[in-house]
Amino acid sequence: MNIHFLGSYWKLPDQDIAAYGSLESKFKSHIGGRRSTFAARVDADTYAAVTKQLEKALLPVYARMLAAKQDSNFVTMLKGLAKAES
C-alpha cells in the first residue's frame, strides 16, 4: 500500500503577526479569498520529514480500515447465506 501526497502548503493568516489588526486577522489561517498570498509552499526538507511521519502513522490506520471493511463484508455475506438457508 502506498500514499501519494499531492503537495504541501502553509496556510497563512490575512495579516502578519506584527501588523496592527484583530487577533483573527493575525492568527486565523485559511486558503482562498481574493489574495493569492494565503498559502506558501513548504520547503523540501520539511515536506520529506512530514510525509515520512504521516506514512508511518497512516499506513497502519488504512490497513486496519481495509481489514475491518473486508471483515464486515464477510459477515454480511454470511448473514445473507444464513437467511437463504432458513
Residue 44 lies in a domain: yes
Beta carbons of 8 and 31 less than 8 angstroms apart: no
Number of independent structural domains in the chain? 1
Residue 1 lies in a domain: no
Give the chain's mean pLDDT. 80
Q: How many beta carbons lie within 10 A of that of residue 71, not counting itself?
A: 10
Residue 18 lies in a domain: yes
pLDDT of res. 74: 62
Question: pLDDT digits over 48-69, tens only?
Answer: 999 999 999 998 888 888 887 7
Q: Give the helix, strand, coil percentages of the chain, each rounded to 5.
A: 55, 10, 35
Residue 4 lies in a domain: no
pLDDT confidence of 46, banded at 50, 70, 90? very high
Percentage of the chain beyond pLDDT 70 is 76
Residue 14 lies in a domain: yes
Residue 2 lies in a domain: no
Residue 22 lies in a domain: yes
pLDDT confidence of 45, banded at 50, 70, 90? very high
Residue 76 lies in a domain: yes
Quote the domain boundaries for residue 61. 9-85
